[in-house]
A and B are shown apart, each in its own frame.
Chain A
Amino acid sequence: MDVRSLTVRLGGGNDAPSVLDRVSFALEAGEIVGLVGESGAGKSMTGAAIIGLLEHPLTKTSGEIWLAGTRIDNLSESAMLAVRGSKIGMVFQDPATSLNPVLTIGHQLTETIRQHEAIGRGEARDRAIGLLSDVGIPSPAERLGSYPHEFSGGMRQRVVIALALAGNPDLIIADEPTTALDVSIQAQIIALLQEVASKRGAGVLLITHDLGVIAEIADRVAVMYSGRIVEIASVASIIEAPHHPYTKALMRSIPVVGDRRGRLPQIAGAMPRVGARPQGCAFHPRCTSRLDRCDADRPELEAKQDAQVACWAV
């Protein structure tokens, strides 16, 4: 997948405030790319823009989105409907709300499979059983008749992942897939997503605020701040030697086991609201390595050693 200069504004006009401002990144098959940032940075918005589910008055005003050699951002609603679910699978934060509570999971799975492929009920059922066993649900054949409420949170998230895989997607967008789960279950879902990427060769766009989860499974990380990507680098580089002052400050502010600092270094201030993004670099009012030009010119992503960084001071 290739996202090029994606801009989303609150309203259609070119002077409307932008929620996403020229977001560009690429994702290879089988690769897990983490999209991190604080609430309001535009992570989930990026996911919604990719699958064409922006709600009024949010409008994509420029940019292109390519998936497996096809441009998907200018497709008609019906063509996009086919892409969603078959080419792109989605996993959301709350497994309880992404399943229909009054239908059995067997019904939901076979329905989804038959939506994308012209196959009979029996065959769809076999595929559904295969999917459930792939995602680690014990005795899948018996569980087809169960309703979502009969599953635990972790098992439900596995069902959601099975649904996302039903159309054999090229890309899976997982928006905070482990946030609602317990630590031990979180680890199981992380392992499952990793397996999905490596075995099925699907690219995974992992949207999360939890840098611990990113560190465990992502190959590369894109850090967002105020609707812009400020740094893209390998996960090791982001954690061990981040370049952008925001990424650095963010990494320093996280308490980790065994680190006995008295006080945590904190970032002063807060991220600007939509429409109140300052001129130049959006981070400059809170930045400690600010230069003269930072409040006037916006830095673009530029290659820096093994990373791409948008910062004048780097």
Chain B
Amino acid sequence: MLGSVKRDDMAGTQNEFSADSTPHVEVAGLVRTFDASPPWLVRTIGRQQRRIVRAVDGMDFAIARGATLGLVGESGCGKSTVARCLAGLLEPDSGTIRISEASADPSDDRSSRRQVQMVFQDPYSSLNPRWRVGETIGDSLLAFGLAQNRREMRDQVGALLVDVGLAPEDADRYPHEFSGGQRQRVAIARAIAAKPSILIADEPTSALDVSVQAQILNLLRDLQAAHTLTCLFISHDLGVVDHMADTIGVMYLGRLVELRNKTDLFERPLHPYTRMLIETAPRLKRATTRPSAMTGEVPSPLAPPPGCAFHPRCPLATERCRQERPLPRALPEGGFVACHAVAE
């Protein structure tokens, strides 16, 4: 069944709420599955069932205008799928994504796409190697009608390159002439060229060295402040997420297990998975000795355990956890946690 995806114009309802209380992005009940079945013939001969991966299995979250939501979790937990659904690169199976945009015209898909731009992990594969970077950035300007002619495009590309710390002359160079950090700057320039209100960054510094990482993180924060961007920031590095985000969501097998303000999350993590993640992540300074490593591995999303997906690795698991899926429980200080053991 195909759910409805609304990218509506909520300008009419804007007066009922103050600007702060209306979330800029609101995601409810987001589900996205992938068909990982073997080919039809193999299935028929081998009498095999279809195999469906529920990459995102019911996610609810909201991001306030100008705020940053960080998503953390191990590979395969569905972080990138959420990002791609939000960016409109993947169609959700069900659930709604609402983007309240005063300027957006709901009938115009192009304008709503323009609102959400994305920066990917690998700046080596996210840029077309045969295009000069000026064309890569300018294409986005022309496609969205932000530049009327090539002369205007050139001027804007030059200004964008300066914004991301490169020079206007770099427009004539090819991606291979740049270092990894510079390529990521180009990718960021391409994203902000569309004048988005929402920027999604999926592991934007994972392929970069630490000193370059600092440069890119600073650049992203500067641009966010300058353009009042609402951000979804995905990283496996807790230090980076803590630096960039206001609120952090922890994902495990397609679901959010905990979503809280970053200070609360790091100071008083509630979900056993969050606690393990924080305790076992390699870090520079540790007050106590390193705890024993988390046992077990992330189960296959093809066959998630019944009940709470984390129960096979959880030290607090009870019979109830094995049978009943815990629902997100709102916390008095804001945010939620989905765990039977914490609730009791």
Contact = CB atoms under 8 A, between A and B. Distances in A.
Nearest to B294: A184
A210 B282 contact: yes
Contact of A182 (B179, B236, B284): B236
A267 to B, nearest CB: 4
B238 interface: yes
Interface in B189-237: 209-215, 217-218, 221, 236-237
Nearest to A251: B284
A209 B293 contact: no
Interface string A186-226: 11101100000000000000000111110110000000000
Interface in B288-308: 290, 292-295, 297-298
B276 interface: yes
A185 interface: yes
B285 A215 contact: yes
Interface in A154-171: 154-155
A178 B281 CA distance: 12
B211 A250 contact: yes
A182 B298 contact: yes
B290 A216 contact: yes
Task: Give the bracket for the number of chain B residues in contact with chain A.
Answer: 35 or more
Contact of B284 (A187, A191, A239, A270): A239
B170 interface: no
B181 interface: yes
Contacts of B298: 182, 184
Task: Give the bracket for the number of chain A residues in contact with chain B.
Answer: 35 or more
A215 B214 CA distance: 19
A264 B281 contact: no
A212 B284 contact: yes
Given A215-B283, A257-B239, A266-B214, A182 B74 contact: yes
Interface string B265-294: 011000000001110111111100010111
A256 B285 contact: yes
B110 interface: no
A255 B242 contact: yes
Given A212-B281, A255-B239, A183 B211 contact: no
A221 B203 CA distance: 27
A132 to B, nearest CB: 16
A254 B239 contact: yes
A152 interface: yes
Nearest to B296: A184
A178 B280 CA distance: 13
Contacts of B214: 253-255, 264-267
A39 interface: yes
Contacts of B75: 182
Interface string A230-251: 0000000001000000000111
Interface pairs A-B: 9 shortest CB-CB: A212-B282, A255-B243, A253-B214, A38-B209, A187-B293, A187-B280, A264-B214, A182-B74, A184-B294
7 contacts: A184-B294, A187-B290, A253-B213, A255-B239, A255-B240, A266-B211, A266-B215
Given A155-B297, A212-B239, A216-B290, 9 more contacts: A38-B212, A154-B297, A184-B298, A185-B297, A187-B282, A212-B281, A212-B284, A254-B284, A257-B266
